[in-house]
Amino acid sequence: MKNFIAHTEEIRNQMLQEISCASVEDLFQQIPAKIKEFNIASPLSEMETQRRVKALAKKDKTEFSNFLGGGVYNKFIPACINYVAQRFEFLTAYTPYQPEISQGTLQVIYEYQTMISRLTGMDIANASMYDGGSACAEAVLMAHRIARGKKNKALISNKLNPEYSEVIKTYAWAQGIEIEWFEELPESTSEYFCVLMQYPDYFGEIPEIKKQETTLIICANLSALSILKPPTDADIVVGDIQPLGLPMNFGGPHAGYMACKEAYMRQLPGRLVGRTLDADGQQAFTLTIQTREQHIKREKATSNICSNQSLMALCATLYLSLLGEKGFKQTGILSANLAHALSRMLNGKGIKTLNKNFFNEFVIETDSSDNFLAKLKEQNILGGIKLDDKHILVCTTEMNTEEEIVNYIEAV
């Protein structure tokens, strides 16, 4: 194999011809002169550069009380998660396709699937998805396959995470699927091939979940399922696993999860790990039901862009293993108690909470969202997500303290 060369002269000429430039120099002549006038200091050594960067970093404000939510949460992450996840046996960009890959990797994925199934109350879960948005979109396509083309309209809550909604729109457009959005569920849903709701919804409200006349998809916050009833009336449950031991990472990378009832197993996209016995009667793990995979069926596959996030799934598995059922439930109780305490205190200061029933997120009404959040930021408090000029989405997790709640109230 030849050494990698980014572009040959022939390729460069073809590219220049395509954009009507005679040379590379001609290409850069199009940059306005003012942009070229950078005030750049003289070169620095590596040691000097490190000193300079550290000096600049000290100017940043990084110690904020965090009351942001909306799909990405500030969660406590036990130190040993990163230590184990970054061991060379696990740390790889490789996506497992072959059924004979490492038994350790397969067992971790199997344990992850089992944990997701138990949390969601579903029969089976796949090896993970890219993120919560793609998991929702893949669930819509899955429901469309279940309907076998007899229906082409999806009914989706307008209280779904707006980022997830945008991903679904793109998937649906490409497949020619029609979407209708709802505020309140209609009495009959029989004309749709699926109904998609969020639990709790994007604004923190906990909706009633009940069986539908069509495939019911629930996008559930796994942190909330630590204390809320699993959505067992759903046919498919999806969401993001970021609350399970994954850093906020400026919004990613995270990973999605997808679980469903056994009847729909063969329509489930992505990888599945199964447990069996080998020729010696020993426990063995292997990828299973691979006929739906893109490397087997190509255009007939259930999905072509649903590779699992094995490393992220590993972190989630370690997180749940370390906390255990009792510890996981405790984080949910702490998050909810802090949120309800903050809500009561805000109401006491005349700031109205719009939610009737919520877990750890709620919407408040203010005279001016910008002024309200600006006052908090002056006190190093990230007070919530601005929804519009008067409404703010506020969130607490187990990482917040009673002292931070008091500081929040004093700052407003």
Task: Give me the residue spans of the domains in the chain.
Answer: 65-76+325-411, 79-317
| 247 φ/ψ angles, rounded to the nearest 5 degrees | -65, 165
Of 103 and 169, more confident: 169
Q: What's the mean pLDDT in 86-104?
A: 71
pLDDT tens digit sequence for 217-262: 999 999 999 999 999 999 999 999 999 999 999 888 899 999 999 9
Least confident of 201-210, 244-253, 323-332, 355-364: 244-253
The 3-state secondary structure of 18-53, one letter per residue: HCCCCCHHHHHCCCCHHHHCCCCCCCCCHHHHHHHH
- Cα(171)–Cα(301) distance, integer angstroms: 15
With CA atoms as reference, report the closest residue to 122 among 324, 295, 263: 263
Query: How far apart, in Å, are the Cα atoms of 345 and each of 284, 364, 392, 409?
Result: 54, 12, 16, 7
pLDDT at 94: 60
State the CB neighbour count (10 A cutoff) for residue 175: 12
What's the rounded mean pLDDT across residues 327-334?
97
Per residue in 124-161, pLDDT (tens digit) is 999 999 999 999 999 999 999 999 989 999 999 999 99
Contacts of range 162-167, beta carbons closer than 8 Å, 24 or more positions apart: 162/202, 163/71, 163/133, 164/71, 164/132, 164/133, 164/136, 164/137, 164/198, 164/219, 166/133, 167/133, 167/134, 167/136, 167/137
At residue 373, the pLDDT reads 97
pLDDT one-digit tens code per residue, 269-316: 888 899 999 899 999 998 887 655 555 566 667 765 656 788 899 999
Question: What digits encode the pLDDT tens for the residues 38-73?
Answer: 777 888 899 999 999 999 998 887 789 999 999 999
CATH 3.65.10.10 fits 65-76+325-411, yes or no: no
Q: Residue 20: CB partners within 8 Å, gap ≥ 6?
A: none
Q: How confident is the model at residue 96 (pLDDT cuts 50, 70, 90)?
A: low
- Give the pair of three-digit tokens for residue 299: 């255009």
- Fold category of 79-317 in CATH: Aspartate Aminotransferase; domain 2 (3.40.640)
**What is the per-residue pLDDT for 305?**
62
pTM: 0.85
pLDDT above 60 for 1: no
Burial degree of 118 (CB within 10 A; 0-12, 13-18, 19+): middle
Q: Which H or E element spans position 174?
A: helix 162-175
Question: Rounded CA gap, 308 and 131, in Å?
Answer: 9
The residue that leads in pLDDT, 24 or 263, is 263
Residue range 111-118: mean pLDDT, rounded: 97
| β-sheet bridge partners, residue 205 | 358
Instruction: For residues 115 and 125, give the distance between their C-alpha atoms in angstroms, rounded to a whole number.
Output: 9
**Over the stretch 193-221, which tens digit does the pLDDT of each residue have?**
999 999 999 999 999 999 999 999 999 99
pLDDT band at 98 (very low <50, low <70, confident <90, very high): low
The set of residues, in sequence order, having a beta carbon less than 8 Å from that of 44 and lying 6+ positions away, is 52
- Whole-number average pLDDT of the chain: 91
C-alpha distances (whole Å) from 165 to each of 135, 150, 179 are 11, 23, 10
> 32: which 2 tokens?
């306005």
